[in-house]
Amino acid sequence: MLILDNNSITGTLKPNIIHNLKKLEILSIRNNQLTDDIPLKTIAECEDLRELWLSKNRFTGTLHEDMGNIKNLTHFCVYNNYLNGKIPESIGKCLKLELLSMGRNHFTGEIPDSLKNCTKLTHISLYNNHLCGQVPSWISLLLDLIEVNLFGNNFDGEVPLRIAEEELGLVKNKR
C-alpha cells in the first residue's frame, strides 16, 4: 500500500518508481499537484493492484488502453483532473471493477459498451465531462449499482428505466 494523499507533491508520476512496486495493492495519491499523463502501462505491471486513487491532481492526456490490463482493479478514481479523449474500451476487461469515478475531466465520446462487462459495478460517476450520445440501456442490467452520476454531460435520448425509477443520479445534462 502506498498512500500519499493530501500533500503538495508536484511533477509527474514517474514510471520507474511504480515499476519497483510489483506487489502493490493500493496506490493513492489524491489531492496533490501531479501533472502529465498517468503511466497506466507501468501501473498495469502491478499485478495485485486493486485500488487506484489519483483524483484532485492536474493529470492531463488520455487514458491508455493498458488500463484493461489491470485485472484485479476494483476502484478506479481519477475525478477532478484534466484528462481528455475517449474512455478506453479496454476498461471492460477490468471485470472486478466496483467503483468508477472519472468526473470533472474532459472525456468525450460515448460511454464504452465494454463497460457492461463490469457486472460488479456499484458506482459509476462520470459527471461534468463532455460525454454524448444516449445513456446505454445496459446500465439497467448492472444490478449492483447504487449510484450512477452522469450530470453535466451532453447525453440525449431516453433515460434507461431503472435509472429513472430508482433515481440513481442522472440529472441536469447540458442538453
Q: DSSP states of 108-145 as a string?
A: EEPPPGGGGG-TT--EEE--SSEEEEEPPGGGGG-TT-
Averaged confidence pLDDT in the chain: 92
pLDDT band at 166 (very low <50, low <70, confident <90, very high): low
Global confidence as pTM = 0.92
Per residue in 112-122, pLDDT tens? 999 999 999 99
- Order of all β-strands in the sheet with 99-101: 2-3, 26-28, 51-53, 75-77, 99-101, 123-125, 147-149
Q: Using CA atoms, how far apart are residues 15 and 40, in angstroms rounded to an integer?
A: 9
Mean pLDDT computed over 47-54: 96
pLDDT band at 20 (very low <50, low <70, confident <90, very high): confident
Is 14 a residue whose pLDDT tops 80?
yes
Is 34 a residue whose pLDDT tops 60?
yes
pLDDT band at 172 (very low <50, low <70, confident <90, very high): very low
Count of positions (residues) in the chain: 175
Per residue in 84-142, pLDDT tens? 999 999 999 999 999 999 999 999 999 999 999 999 999 999 999 999 999 999 998 89
Q: Quick check: 17 and 45 in contact, CB under 8 A?
A: no
pLDDT at 157: 87
Mean pLDDT computed over 50-78: 96
**Share of residues in the chain with pLDDT > 90 (%):** 81
Q: Using CA atoms, how far apart are residues 64 and 73, in angstroms rounded to an integer?
A: 15
Mean pLDDT computed over 30-49: 94
Going from N- to C-terminal start, the domains of the chain cover: 2-166
Question: By C-alpha distance, which of 72, 74, 86, 100 is closest to 129?
Answer: 86
Q: Which CATH number fits domain 2-166: 3.65.10.10, 3.80.10.10, 3.10.310.10, 3.90.1170.40?
A: 3.80.10.10
Q: Using CA atoms, how far apart are residues 35 and 141, in angstroms rounded to an integer?
A: 36
Mean pLDDT computed over 7-23: 90
